Amino acid sequence: MSAADPAPVLDDIQVAVIDDNRHFLVIMRAMLRACGVRRGFACSSAGDALALLSEHAVDLVMTDCRMPGTDGLELIRTIRADRRFASRATPIICVSGHAEKRIIEDAIRTGADDFLVKPLSVNTVLQRMTRHLFNRLPYFETATYFGPDRRRILSCTHRGPDRRGDLVEL
């Protein structure tokens, strides 16, 4: 976003932030407020997040990838796989202090919409939230995957056994 772009209206957006580091949760709350987000939830574990998401629909999930017990990638797998979650098709951004290629690829393969490396800036958080809230990728589903469709050519004519699933209407 440039200075000439109008600021997105985020005061009605509800964000869930999941991280085992309570200091990061405080920082994220301040960043989200600076972005204009006024409603949200903070969870310190994947278990707390699953309990929350089974009761509340949110507009965006931001989760740490590495947490004790159930990590962020397993959290994403569970959210994406369980049709009972209202948040199943919610944009999910992985946030991590670990920028190894394998971790980023695992997050994307798991169904994350994006990946941010800590430390974060307010501008980066705002840009990514805006992208995934207002310019969403279409989602598709196969027997083993539900999540954003990153294919560049959407008019695929391949019909063989390795064909990816059809797009899902959100």
The type of residue at 43 is: C
Q: What is the pLDDT of residue 162?
A: 59
pLDDT at position 41 over 60 = yes
Q: With respect to residue 122, please indicate whether it lies within any of the assigned structural domains.
A: yes
Q: With respect to residue 142, please indicate whether it lies within any of the assigned structural domains.
A: no
Q: With respect to residue 96, please indicate whether it lies within any of the assigned structural domains.
A: yes
Contact yes or no for 52/27 (Cβ under 8 A)? no
Q: With respect to residue 162, please indicate whether it lies within any of the assigned structural domains.
A: no
Name the CA dihedral angle for 10, 72, 88, 120, rounded to a multiple of 10 degrees. Answer: 20
CA distance 27 to 63: 14
Q: With respect to residue 65, please indicate whether it lies within any of the assigned structural domains.
A: yes
| Region 38-63 average pLDDT | 94
The average confidence (pLDDT) of the chain is: 86
For the stretch 63-75, pLDDT in tens is 999 888 888 999 9
Range of the domain at 28: 14-137
CATH no. for residue 53? 3.40.50.2300
Find the helix or strand (DSSP H, E) in which 60 lies.
Answer: strand 60-64
Residue 4: strand, helix, or coil? coil
Q: In what order do the strands lie in the sheet with 167-168?
A: 146-148, 139-141, 167-168
Tokens 């391949």 belong to which residue? 158
Q: With respect to residue 144, please indicate whether it lies within any of the assigned structural domains.
A: no
End-to-end CA distance of the chain: 25
Q: With respect to residue 168, please indicate whether it lies within any of the assigned structural domains.
A: no
For the stretch 122-145, pLDDT in tens is 999 999 999 999 988 888 888 888
What is the number of structural domains in the chain? 1
What's the whole-model pTM score? 0.84
Q: With respect to residue 2, please indicate whether it lies within any of the assigned structural domains.
A: no
